[in-house]
């Protein structure tokens, strides 16, 4: 409840022109869904990111193209991440519920709330399992990896932590599940703009941090280095 109370008002107040820009970001994915080119979706990266969130966003736009749904997706996913963490650790859930970074990105129309949700599910899954493959960890890991490259890294690290009787079969299925993304990854790596970054401007970064998180946001880089 606390997580939802913190996220809902900010999500509504956050709506402005930036959200419109994000909403048209996965336009290529939307076009391919409309054309029925489903086989091309796995290799259709939006910027540097795999297709899970663009597909979710595009399906929402096809079903009900209302801006409120775009924001509510992030709010509900971010709140859901807190609920998942609470199953494993109430302290971790409280930290995520009140995290200024998590609250901020719960009001953004992009893939980070979905990534947080997938990683929370991955972390909340017990390392114990039945059968030859750890189904829950595999499902959360695939969702994380299809959402963000760092999600794939987290999925591999989680699977490696499994007992040996589950580890290798789960790892094999995880690799197979990520294999449709390989063409998109190679295309992204081959794009010269992928590794092009603008020059670092400390003043602009500081202004952005204050605008997003308040004055305390200036301390976030320090915590990140720690």
8 A C-beta contact, residue 184 and residue 89: no
Higher pLDDT, 144 or 197: 144
Spatial CA neighbour of 114 closest among 93, 86, 143, 135: 143
Q: What is the pLDDT of residue 7?
A: 77
Q: What is the pLDDT of residues 81-122, one digit of tens each?
A: 999 999 888 999 999 998 888 888 888 888 899 999 999 999
Bridge partner list, 46? 49
pLDDT at 63 over 80: yes
Q: What is the pLDDT of residue 179?
A: 93
Task: Supply the mean pLDDT for the chain.
Answer: 82
Q: What is the pLDDT of residue 14?
A: 62
pLDDT at 208 over 80: no
8 A C-beta contact, residue 151 and residue 53: no
8 A C-beta contact, residue 110 and residue 16: no
Q: What is the DSSP string of 42-88?
A: GG--BTTB-SHHHHHHHHHHHH---HHHHHHHHHHHHHHHHHHHHTT
Q: What is the pLDDT of residue 33?
A: 87
Higher pLDDT, 181 or 65: 181
* Range picked from 13-17, 77-81, 161-165 for highest mean pLDDT: 77-81
In angstroms, rounded to a whole number, what is the distance separating the alpha carbons of residues 153 and 187? 19
Q: Find where tokens 């302290």 sit.
A: 91
Residues 6+ apart with CB under 8 A from 112: 74, 105, 148
Q: What is the pLDDT of residue 40?
A: 86
Q: What is the pLDDT of residue 73?
A: 86
Tell me the HSE value of 208 on the side-chain side, using a 13 A CA sphere: 8
**3 state SS for 130-162:** CCCCCHHHHHHHHHHHHHCHHHHHHHHHHHHCC
Q: Report residue 122 as tokens.
A: 């991955």
Q: Give residue 188's pLDDT band: very low, low, confident or very high (50, 70, 90).
A: confident
Q: Report residue 91 as tokens.
A: 């302290």
DSSP, res 125? S
Higher pLDDT, 138 or 104: 138
8 A C-beta contact, residue 69 and residue 49: no
């Amino acid at each position: 409840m606390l997580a939802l109370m913190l996220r809902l008002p900010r999500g509504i107040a956050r709506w402005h022109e930036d959200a419109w820009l994000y909403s048209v970001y996965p336009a290529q994915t939307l076009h391919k869904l409309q054309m029925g080119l489903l086989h091309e979706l796995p290799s259709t990266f939006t910027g540097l990111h795999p297709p899970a969130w663009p597909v979710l966003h595009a399906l929402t736009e096809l079903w009900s193209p209302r801006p409120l749904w775009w924001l509510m997706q992030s709010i509900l996913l971010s709140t859901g991440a807190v609920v998942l963490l609470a199953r494993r650790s109430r302290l971790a859930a409280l930290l995520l519920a009140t995290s200024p970074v998590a609250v901020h990105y719960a009001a953004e129309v992009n893939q980070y709330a979905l990534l947080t949700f997938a990683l929370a599910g991955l972390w909340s899954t017990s390392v114990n399992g039945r059968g030859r493959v750890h189904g829950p960890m595999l499902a959360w890991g695939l969702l994380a990896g299809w959402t963000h490259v760092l999600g794939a890294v987290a999925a591999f690290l989680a699977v490696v932590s499994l007992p040996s009787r589950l580890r290798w079969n789960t790892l094999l299925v995880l690799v197979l599940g990520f294999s449709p993304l390989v063409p998109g990854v190679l295309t992204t790596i081959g794009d010269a703009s992928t590794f092009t970054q603008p020059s670092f401007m400390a003043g602009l970064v500081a202004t952005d941090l204050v605008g997003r998180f308040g004055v305390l946001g200036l301390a976030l880089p320090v915590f990140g280095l720690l």
